[in-house]
Chain A
Amino acid sequence: MRNVIIIGSGPAGLTAAIYTSRANLQPLVIAGQSFGGQLMNTTDVENYPGFPEGIMGPEMMQKFIKQAERFGSEMMYKDVTKVELSDDSKKVWVGDEMFEAKAVIIATGAEPKKLGLDSEEKYWGKGVSSCATCDGAFYRDKVVSVVGGGDSAAEEALFLTRFASKVYMIVRKDELRASKIMQDRVMENEKIEVLWNREVKEVLGDENVVTGLKLYDNKNDAEKNIELQGMFLGIGHMPKSEIFQGQITSNDNGYLEVVNGTYSNVDGVFIAGDVNDERYRQAVTASGSGCMAAIDAERWLEAQGN
C-alpha cells in the first residue's frame, strides 16, 4: 500500500506533491487527462511571487511538475473514476485499475460553470468556449457573446473586443455584478452591448459550428434569436467534487468542507485548493493549502506509526 495518493495537479496538488515527496512519502499524483488545473487556460500570471516578469500559466505548471518529479513524485495522467475512502486502506480507481493508500489528498480544483444545455455540449470547441484568451483570435471580425455579469465575464468581453467586431454581454439581471471599474470599462467600450434580463435557452448551430443563440427576455417574457458565431462562458466556477459526494461533506454549492486546517470528515483524507475554496481562488492560496495538506498528511501518517 502507498503512503499517499494526491488527486489533482493544479498548484494545490503539485505543491502537496513537492512537500510529500521531499518527505520521502513517494506520492502518486493522479493528475487527470487535462492536468495542470485552471492555469493551463491562462496566459500571463503576474501575481505569483517569485516571477517578477510574469510567467505563462502552462509554463508555470510544467515547472511545478518538474519540481514534484525531482523529489520522486509519480505522475499519472488519467482521471479518477471512483473512490472508496472509509477504510484504513483508501481505494482510488482509474477505470479498472485500483490504487490503495493510507492517506489521500484531494486537490481536484474547480472548473468554469456551464449552462447545462445539450446544445452547449454539442458545440463545445465549435463556437462555445470558456477561455477567451485561448480562442479569442479565431473570432476576428465576428460577432460573439459573453454570458455573465461578473468581473471575469467583463474581462472576457473586453479581451474579445480586440478581435471581434461586436461583443454582446448577456446578463440575467438588470445590473452587472462586476466591480465599478470593470463596469465603466464595459460601458465605455463601443463594441460591447449589454443585453439585460436575458437568459440563454439554446445554442443554435448548423450542425458544424455556432450560428446564434435563443435568448429569453425574463423581463418581458419573450424569446428571440440572435445571430453570432461564438459564446463564451463567464458565469463562475464549480468545484470538481462529484466523485466524493456522499463520502466527504460539502456545502450547498458542492465545495468540500475542511475542519482544523485541511482535515476532512474522513480520517486520513485531506483537502486542498479550489475544491474547498469559494472565496480566494488564487494560484498562491491553492499552493499554500496544498502545503498545509501535505504537512497535515505527513503528521497524521507519523501518528499512525508510519
Chain B
Amino acid sequence: MDEQVNQKAEDVAANDFQEKVLNSDKPVLVDFWAEWCMPCLMMAPVLDDVAREMSDKVTVLKLNTESEGSREWAIKYDIRSIPNMKLFHKGEVVHEFIGFRPKEVFQQELEEALNKIA
C-alpha cells in the first residue's frame, strides 16, 4: 500500500500541541474545527488533499476545539470563528485563514504564505 496516497490531515491532541506544532522544524498548518461547524466539515476534504499533495512543504493537523484541553489553545490563539486555520513556523503564527475556501483558492493562498517563509 502506498503511504503517500493514504496520508490525511491528522488530529492533534491538546497535549501534543507544543511538541507537534510549536516545536516543529517544518511549517505546520493547524485547523481549529468542531463537529457542529458545517463549513469545517466541508473544509475537511480540502485539508486532506492539501496534506497529501503538499506533504513535502507543510504538515497539516486538526485540533478539535471541543476536545479535552483544547480550549486553552483556542483561547491562546484568540479563536472567535471557525474553521480557522493557522500556519505556524518556528512556533509563531505566520498566516491565518478564517472561513471556508474552495481547494484551488486555499491552496494558492497557502503556497504564497509558504513562499514568504521559505
Contacts and interface: CB of A to CB of B under 8 A. Distances in A.
Contacts of B82: 134-135, 138
A58 B80 CA distance: 20
Band of interface residues on B: 20 to 34
Nearest to B99: A125
A77 B104 contact: yes
B78 A34 contact: no
Q: Is the interface of A mostly helix, strand, loop or mixed?
A: mixed
Given A125-B80, A208-B78, A134 B37 contact: yes
A149 interface: no
Interface in A121-150: 124-127, 129, 134-135, 137-139
A127 B80 contact: yes
Given A40-B39, A137-B34, A34 B81 contact: no
A230 interface: yes
A230 B74 CA distance: 15
Interface residues of A, number: 26
A44 B46 CA distance: 24
A11 interface: no
Contacts of B84: 125
B94 to A, nearest CB: 15
A40 B100 CA distance: 10
A258 interface: no
B39 A135 contact: no
Interface of B: 34, 36-39, 41-42, 65, 74, 78-82, 84, 98-102, 104-105
Interface of A: 33-35, 40, 43, 56-59, 62, 77, 124-127, 129, 134-135, 137-139, 208-210, 229-230
- Give 6 nearest A-B pairs by CB, closest first: A58-B38, A125-B98, A77-B102, A125-B81, A135-B81, A209-B78
